[in-house]
Amino acid sequence: MNARLKWRKLVSGFMLAMTGVCAIVTVSVLFFILGYLVYNGGASINWDFFTKLPAPVGEPGGGMANAIVGSAKLLFLAVLMGVPIGFMGPSIWRSSAAAPPPLWSVTRRIS
């Protein structure tokens, strides 16, 4: 091996190691935040938290019912738009292909 190839392999290994170190640091900080939230806020999680409406500003208590219902509505709308496109896509692709592709029988069964 010439000197340039050795240098490139050394730099590549160093950068790969630094990427791993950065990933470990980032994930450890995220787990620290998650642990902090579970430790300090775990006692507040109960059935009322999920079923009650939010309390006015300054009052203790309250829940997340509006947020959960809103998320469910958005999920329903996304499924309502995404599923037909997902089923029509393979059908259009299959009908426009000149020769039957290898996965033709699979897409024929699901659409």
60: tokens are: 């203790």
- Residues with Cβ within 8 Å of residue 55, at least 6 apart in sequence: 61, 62, 63
Q: What percent of the chain has pLDDT over 70?
A: 81
**Mean pLDDT rounded to a whole number for the chain:** 86
pLDDT of residue 89: 73
pLDDT at 59 over 60: yes
Contact present, 51 and 65 (Cβ < 8 Å): yes
> 11-42 as b/e, with b when 16 or more CB fall inside 10 Å?
eeeeeeeeeeeeeeeeeeeeeeeeeeeeeeee
Domain residue spans of the chain: 3-82
pLDDT at 47 over 90: no
Q: How many residues does the chain have?
A: 111
